[in-house]
Structure 1
Amino acid sequence: MAEGRSRAGKPELGSSKSTWKAGLKPSLSLQSNLDLQQPGRGPQTSAYPVHFILAGPQCNASVDLIGTCWPRSAVGQLVARPCPEYFYGVRYNTTNNGYRECLANGSWAARVNYSQCQEILSEERKSKLHYHIAVIINYLGHCVSLGALLMAFVLFMRLRSIRCLRNIIHWNLITAFILRNATWFVVQLTMNPEVHESNVVWCRLVTAAYNYFHVTNFFWMFGEGCYLHTAIVLTYSTDKLRKWMFICIGWCIPFPIIVAWAIGKLYYDNEKCWFGKRAGVYTDYIYQGPMILVLLINFIFLFNIVRILMTKLRASTTSETIQYRKAVKATLVLLPLLGITYMLFFVNPGEDEISRIVFIYFNSFLESFQGFFVSVFYCFLNSEVRSAVRKRWHRWQDKHSIRARVARAMSIPTSPTRVSFHSIKQSTAV
């Protein structure tokens, strides 16, 4: 095998001057079985030395249009060769193989199976891919959460028999999450790079509204903790607690906090619709600080509540104590969900690729499904709500059954006098 001829017959991988490259369409991909037989050209000799001699019919060494060298092989053999490192500027995983069959007539199959040659995505393409997946998770989670929250809101509104202060606090917490999820959709559907750069008044108001409802979520969780701590640890009667106190905590206190934040943004960081933060400007801590504070206080509340429940209330079986225990269990689950999600914003995932991917997906999941968890633990698993719904359902069934029996009785064809008597008799029997 002449060395000069073999080098001339093998195109250089990744080179724009290769003779085979000019004849292929740019859309060609290795993720398929490619027809790589060059018309009018016989088998080529390999640029790689062959250290064995085959007996019988065989396919000569050849280089295909991709640039892969196929060594001399016996007929009927399926030959494996590493995937090319580059193809049209795209890098491929060379640990996988392409496959080509040596036919019975001593020629190579026209098609080469490169389906196992996987692209190695660049860092930019990987980031875009993970970003799009995170966006899908966020939209899915917020849709599921908003649907569950609306169902829970309607249940608390319709079931007047369970209108105690504890459930009113649950109701307001769910309302705060509904408003936050709704403003999240407004932000996602209206904010774009052009709007961010224009920094118009309405987009700043939308950002302020979103942050306000974000703060109310934490303050209503603080209200949940205050109620349980007062009822269990301080052993005060819950009759002394008033609804207006919790309304002030949940809805009123966050308002001046957001107003102060908006003033700080207006004077020190008035750009990009008040999203993000400029280096050296810490106006966002005006509302983030109180959120962290009430979160830490809630952890202290829960520590005391659990301590009391584990000691003094273990032997008690009253219905009120059972409700407190269930409320504490729900809060123990929900508070870490709320807290961990927010604390993740202060965590640096590092430069490791896996750490960043886990951080993106974990944060997106918890952030978007919070409302769903709140609905499940405070409404759908609430024994009072379930009992009231069950009673409503049984009452509706009984009412519907009575109407059906009366309608059947009235539909019997007979004289007017007998109809009246029959109807009265059936109604009396019911």
Structure 2
Amino acid sequence: MSPYIHESNVLWCRAVTAVYNYFHVTNFFWMFGEGCYLHTAIVLTYSTDKLRKWMFICIGWGIPFPIIIAWALGKLYYDNEKCWFGKRDGVYTDYIYQGPIILVLVINFVFLFNIVRILMTKLRASTTTETVQYRKAVKATLVLLPLLGLTYMLFFVNPGEGDVSQVVFIYFNSFLESFQGFFVSVFYCFLNTEVRSAARKRWHRWQDKHSIRMRVARATATSIPSSQSRLSFHSIKLSTSV
């Protein structure tokens, strides 16, 4: 965004900032939905079949909408400058959407703690050695960190301007925000055993249907000439008898 547009504070520029912040907040609320699902399935031992898709849609897309509307109204009346990007000293309207993000990360941290606690309880009840138990617990913790968005807590506070730490903060946050969905989709979808098994079954089912169609098409193609030849032979026999 050029400095001229940034200082002009035009309407479309403010709208772009609002849309960007909306999708930024939805990113965290979808991670909150993932944390709710895991916590319900593992800790509460509640049947996940009773959880409906519309519940997670309301969490991921619905809740951030009024939050951003309230933030936009706050910016309009108290900090209406520089395309609503950044903030003035003494004005805390950005916390209208940053506060729920912090709350989501804290709740997901509690979810992670409970999930690891239940996992350790189950591992202690098993016959595995203590070293294997802790190794599995640490592995589960590291796997769940990016899924629940807790990696953002490592560099959550901006260290300030004019420092090397701020450059590290900007690049690290940009990397996390850009590749968060990529890492989640790779580790929890494409490399998931159940997902790969379901995709393999789907592929084999499609191959079977395709082969059946091909056999039917070949049978139909071979039956049509034979019927035509019988028809022509019958017409020749009739013509000769006449």
TM-score, length-normalised on structure 1?
0.44
- Secondary structure of the corresponding residue to residue 346 of structure 1: coil
For residues 243-285 of structure 1, what are the alpha-carbon distances to aligned partners after superposition, in whole Å with 9 as ceiling and x for unaligned?
Answer: 4443333222222221221111111110111011112211111
Are 1:364 and 2:177 counterparts?
Answer: no
Q: Which residue of 1 is the match for residue 88 of structure 2?
A: 278
Mark the CA change 1:368 to 1:243 in structure 2 (over 3 Å): closer, same or farther: closer
Comparing both structures, which one devotes a greater share of its residues to helix? 2
Mark the CA change 1:360 to 1:247 in structure 2 (over 3 Å): closer, same or farther: closer
Write the distance in 2 (CA, Å) between the matches of 1:349 and 1:365: 19
Gaps of 5+ in 2: 127-138, 231-242
Q: Which residue of 2 is the match for residue 224 of structure 1?
A: 34
Q: Which residue of 1 is the match for residue 134 of structure 2?
A: none
- Once structures 1 and 2 are overlaid, which stretch shifts more, 384-393 or 238-247? 238-247
- Secondary structure of the corresponding residue to residue 255 of structure 1: helix
For residues 351-378 of structure 1, what are the alpha-carbon distances to aligned partners after superposition, in whole Å with 9 as ceiling and x for unaligned?
Answer: 665x555444333322211121122133
Mark the CA change 1:245 to 1:396 in structure 2 (over 3 Å): closer, same or farther: closer
For residues 150-187 of structure 1, what are the alpha-carbon distances to aligned partners after superposition, in whole Å with 9 as ceiling and x for unaligned?
Answer: xxxxxxxxxxxxxxxxxxxxxxxxxxxxxxxxxxxxxx
Superposition pairs of residues 39-118 of structure 1, within 5 angstroms: none
For residues 218-264 of structure 1, what are the alpha-carbon distances to aligned partners after superposition, in whole Å with 9 as ceiling and x for unaligned?
Answer: 11211211222222222233344444443333222222221221111
For residues 81-123 of structure 1, what are the alpha-carbon distances to aligned partners after superposition, in whole Å with 9 as ceiling and x for unaligned?
Answer: xxxxxxxxxxxxxxxxxxxxxxxxxxxxxxxxxxxxxxxxxxx
Q: Which residue of 2 is the match for residue 340 of structure 1?
A: 151
Q: Which residue of 1 is the match for residue 122 of structure 2?
A: 312
Mark the CA change 1:374 to 1:263 in structure 2 (over 3 Å): closer, same or farther: same
8 Å Cα contact 2:145-2:151 kept in structure 1: no
Q: Which residue of 1 is the match for residue 186 of structure 2?
A: 376
Q: Which residue of 1 is the match for residue 200 of structure 2?
A: 390
Gaps of 5+ in 1: 1-190, 316-325, 421-430
**Structure 2 letter corresponding to 1:266:** L
TM-score, length-normalised on structure 2?
0.75
Write the distance in 1 (CA, Å) between the matches of 2:43 and 2:223: 69
Q: Which residue of 2 is the match for residue 214 of structure 1?
A: 24
**Structure 2 letter corresponding to 1:389:** A
8 Å Cα contact 2:25-2:101 kept in structure 1: yes
Superposition pairs of residues 188-267 of structure 1, within 5 angstroms: 191-267=1-77
> Max radius of gyration: which structure?
1
Mark the CA change 1:256 to 1:327 in structure 2 (over 3 Å): closer, same or farther: farther
Matching residue within 99, 109, 115 for 1:289: 99
Mark the CA change 1:239 to 1:327 in structure 2 (over 3 Å): closer, same or farther: farther
Deviation at 1:387, TM superposition (A): 2.1
Q: Which residue of 2 is the match for residue 158 of structure 1?
A: none
Deviation at 1:410, TM superposition (A): 5.0
Write the distance in 2 (CA, Å) between the matches of 1:352 and 1:310: 42
Deviation at 1:347, TM superposition (A): 3.6
Counting aligned pairs with the same residue, the percent is 77
Comparing both structures, which one devotes a greater share of its residues to strand? 1
- Secondary structure of the corresponding residue to residue 212 of structure 1: helix
8 Å Cα contact 1:349-1:359 kept in structure 2: no
Mark the CA change 1:343 to 1:270 in structure 2 (over 3 Å): closer, same or farther: farther
**Structure 1 letter corresponding to 2:110:** I
How many residues were matched structurally? 218
8 Å Cα contact 2:152-2:173 kept in structure 1: yes
Deviation at 1:198, TM superposition (A): 2.0
**Structure 2 letter corresponding to 1:222:** F
8 Å Cα contact 1:269-1:278 kept in structure 2: yes
Mark the CA change 1:209 to 1:351 in structure 2 (over 3 Å): closer, same or farther: closer
8 Å Cα contact 2:71-2:94 kept in structure 1: yes
